Amino acid sequence: MEEHPSSIASLVLIQDYLLRNNNPGTIGNYLNLIESPAKEDKLFHRLHSAYQRALLTSVGSKAPDFAVNAINGDSLTLDSFHGRHLILAFEKPGSEACNEDHPVLDDLYKKYDRKKVEILSLVFDENPDDREKIAEEHKINWLQAIDTLGLASSSIFAYNISILPDYFLIDEEGVIRASHIPVKEIQILLEEKIESGK
């Protein structure tokens, strides 16, 4: 990229990096190297837009708000979890990867008091009945909300989700402390923060 900052090929390399990593700082550094005529290309503008969205959900940013209705009937927003850590899980019903993560989420649900840690699964499915069936089969006890817009949901865009499942750890003040990481890493972070009092 440094050798060919005006080449479209450099943009393609940045795009490939963006698809494999979610490190806004590095992506921003690469985009700053781009020169004309590549800087006027549509791909540059798409990458710059993706970079701006990635910044909104990077560690240390205020988490985007949401408004969902949980399966239990509760209306939930980000502020509903003020004063508690929130594990925000983005899921798709029937996904093997999502189902594999459920035992970890269940362990976290059982381990921590609801006054300290809450879990919310945002499930993207046009058919809400699917999720209720899955929740029953897998004995899911934590909060779940179904977004019937599926992958067209505004939450997918706001949280810059490109693959499901995806996980965030949001602190008591609504600040993102971990984004786009495996749930097992969130488990480790929570143990450090809560059990050590950090």
Helix axes 42-56 and 8-20, enclosed angle (nearest 10): 30
Helix axes 96-111 and 183-190, enclosed angle (nearest 10): 10
Cis, peptide link before residue 37, omega less than 30° from 0:
yes
Low-confidence ranges of the chain (pLDDT < 70): 1-4, 17-25, 126-138, 196-198
Kindly report the pTM of this predicted structure: 0.80
Q: Note the pLDDT of residue 133.
A: 63
Query: What sign does the CA torsion over 130, 186, 156, 11 have?
Result: negative
Q: Note the pLDDT of residue 187.
A: 94
For 85-158, strand residue ranges (E) read 85-91, 117-124, 143-147
Cα–Cα distances in angstroms (integers) from residue 157 to residues 81, 89, 188, 194, in the given order = 21, 15, 27, 30
Task: Name all domains of the chain by residue range, CATH numbers in brackets.
Answer: 8-56 (no CATH), 67-195 (3.40.30.10)
